[in-house]
Chain A
Amino acid sequence: EVQLVESGGGLVQPGGSLRLSCAASAFTFSAYWMSWVRQAPGKGLEWVANIKQDGSETYYVDSVKGRFTISRDNAKNSLYLQMNSLRAEDTALYYCASFTIISRAFDYWGQGTLVIVSS
């Protein structure tokens, strides 16, 4: 069974940094584009970033460009999200998901890790 397990969330002050990780198992991680999707409290899903299989292409939602960096380590079956200059509006449950490029759909999801930006 495919498993995506996020970690690294927590409470951070505005302007601070946090690095999220996502450990993948039971699927060919290196063959998939990967993504981060978030959900703020009481709000809907918001796509955050995508990364190509080899890391050569990355895409971001406008609100995080220049502050967040998505990366991956295929040898470790791991996905990362480096979050800098955090704002209160970045408070959310962050999901790791696989992104099937043929259909542009998120087919496998993790359970999420909670990030709270507050002083």
Chain B
Amino acid sequence: QSALTQPASVSGSPGQSITISCTGTSSDVGGYSYVSWYQHHPDKAPKLMIFDVSYRPSGVSYRFSGSKSGNTAALTISGLRAEDEADYYCSSYTSRSTVIFGGGTKLTVL
């Protein structure tokens, strides 16, 4: 099964908003509300930022939000900060009871 499709990189200036897309199929992203987003800084453990498409775990900033339309999910980060610079991955549960990740997006804060 191929990875979910994410842009390789996005960038934005401090204070701006950016959106990262995550495209799958009706067997994963489009078929379930089980889309999650992870932030991954180098040499650190990945961190859950969004689950169930649009819910934030306790402690995650309100600047992070998620959405989904059809087979494409999206992560929006508003009010960009330097510390947001990291790799971001989406994931989805699938019809085969497996989990699939996106290829990852490198966010650069200019």
Q: Using a CB–CB distance below 8 Å, which chain A residues touch chain B?
A: 35, 37, 44-47, 50, 59-62, 95, 97, 99-100, 103-107, 109-112
A-B contact pairs, 12 of them (CB 8 A): A44-B3, A44-B103, A47-B100, A50-B98, A95-B46, A99-B99, A100-B51, A103-B51, A104-B34, A104-B93, A106-B46, A111-B45
* CB of A10, distance to nearest CB on chain B (Å): 19
B interface residues with partner A (beta carbon < 8 Å): 1, 3, 32, 34, 36, 38, 40, 44-48, 51-52, 55, 57, 87, 89, 91-93, 97-104
Question: Is B38 a contact partner of A106 (Cβ separation < 8 A)?
Answer: yes
Measured in the bound complex, the distance between the Cα atoms of B103 and A112 in whole Å is 19
- Residues of chain A within 8 A (CB-CB) of B102 are 44
Please report the number of residue pairs spanning A and B whose Cβ atoms sit closer than 8 angstroms. 68
**Could you say which residues of chain B place their CB within 8 Å of the CB of A97?**
46
